[in-house]
Amino acid sequence: MDFALSTEHLMVQQMVREFAQREVAPIIRECDRTQQMASFVLERMAALGILGICFPLKYGGQGMDYISLGLACEELEAVDTTLRVVMSVHVGLNSLGIFQWGSEEQKERFLIPQVKGEKIACFGLSEPGAGSDVANLSCTARKDGDSYVLNGEKMWISLATKAHHALVVARTNPEAQDPHDGLSAFLVELNSPGVSRGDIHGKLGVRAGSTGWIAFQDVRVPEANRLGEEGEGFKIAMSCLDNGRYTVAAGATGLIRACLEASVKYATERKAFGREIGKFQLIQQKIAYMVQSYEAARLLYLRAGWMKNKGLRNTKETSLAKWFATDASFQAASEAVQIHGAYGYSDEYPVERYLRNAKGAVIYEGTSEIHQLMQAGYALGYRQDGQLRCELPPYDPDVWLAETTSESKNQKDKVKST
């Protein structure tokens, strides 16, 4: 058992940290205030190769492993949740879904442009009337010749107005005995006739990012854009959530670290009753819990990343990592505000933003309550993970680093040169 990060891991960690700290941190408070995503973020993340960090070179990626993806997400959310959300949606929920379930033709058309950052992707599962109850979604896809006609609305979609592609789950068989079996997944080009979308404003947190809705009115989707087989939509969605939840767990770990660093800094600068407040035991207790939470959350997500690298099913382990890290990040942010006192209630310091952002992660990609039920089900023997027709490919450096074109070599060099 080796707990050390490789040279490549450290390189990724440093590159992403420098980008987030130098380029985004100085402007993030204003972006949060104006509820606008910085215009350069997506383009810059693409140029650095971050959007394709864990994909083989032959698809335009960086050839790094899944642990690298987790490390990148930790560094991004240590600055702001909106940066990690990009990775959760574009990479975890969409691109890795195509990588796992897509045909080679679909990978050529959709995955390669997304990995290179030429096209931005989102994920359409939640609806105005269906969140945790996925089987109850009402968006339909009716077969008509060599295409499907898509109707319905998706809600709470990150990057809804920024994306070019969406992985959408819709009902293709309303008569299925088990409603889960009546769902199918589709790769939808969002410039198609009948697609409309908009941003959601007034959110509690994640204000510096894009969250919106997408409506489909008689949108024709070619049969060639169906991901997987008809009726596999629920399994595909759940496997995508496994990957998205991994990025959320890693990101929440970064948020805990940000709370810890901000609290330590303030506790050693602020004085009360003639001494640094860090000298008081109750302040020390709050900081000690943050240390504990960070170390535990980090080990949980790294274990999930290691399992992904090995090609091991990790639904249980990823669920646990997501549940623990997000709950712990919300608690850490709350205590960070408390340590900062009245200043913590103002955006003069970042901890109030950490608190607002942390609340979202205990809701999306499986509420904390859903993950509690999952973990209890595993422990009691009520829940078992069946084999999937398509598993997420394990990391194989000989395959992933195989350079098929000079262009793929140039992609790999991006991380090395930044």
Distance CA 358, CA 77 (A): 10
Domain with CATH 1.10.540.10 in the chain: 7-119+394-417
Which residues, 6+ apart, have CB-to-CB distance to 336 below 8 Å?
Answer: 259, 260, 262, 263, 290, 344, 351, 354, 355
Domain with CATH 1.20.140.10 in the chain: 238-380
**Six-digit token string for 241:** 């959530």
Distance CA 386, CA 395 (A): 21
Q: Fold for domain 122-234?
A: Butyryl-CoA Dehydrogenase, subunit A; domain 2 (2.40.110)
**Catalytic site includes residue 317:** no
pTM: 0.95
DSSP characters over 2-38: --PPPHHHHHHHHHHHHHIIIIITTTHHHHHHHT---
Tens-binned pLDDT, residue by residue, of the chain (418 aa): 789 999 999 999 999 999 999 999 999 999 999 999 999 999 999 999 999 999 999 999 999 999 999 999 999 999 999 999 999 999 999 999 999 999 999 999 999 999 999 999 999 999 999 888 888 899 999 999 999 999 999 999 999 999 999 999 999 999 999 999 999 999 999 999 999 999 999 999 999 999 999 999 999 999 999 999 999 999 999 999 999 999 999 999 999 999 999 999 999 999 999 999 999 999 999 999 999 999 999 999 999 999 999 999 999 999 999 999 999 999 999 999 999 999 999 999 999 999 999 999 999 999 999 999 999 999 999 999 999 999 999 999 999 999 764 444 554 455 555 5
Which superfamily is assigned to 238-380 in CATH? Butyryl-CoA Dehydrogenase, subunit A, domain 3 (1.20.140.10)
CATH architecture of the domain formed by 7-119+394-417 = Orthogonal Bundle (1.10)
Domain with CATH 2.40.110.10 in the chain: 122-234
Q: Catalytic pick from 77, 153, 335, 365?
A: 365
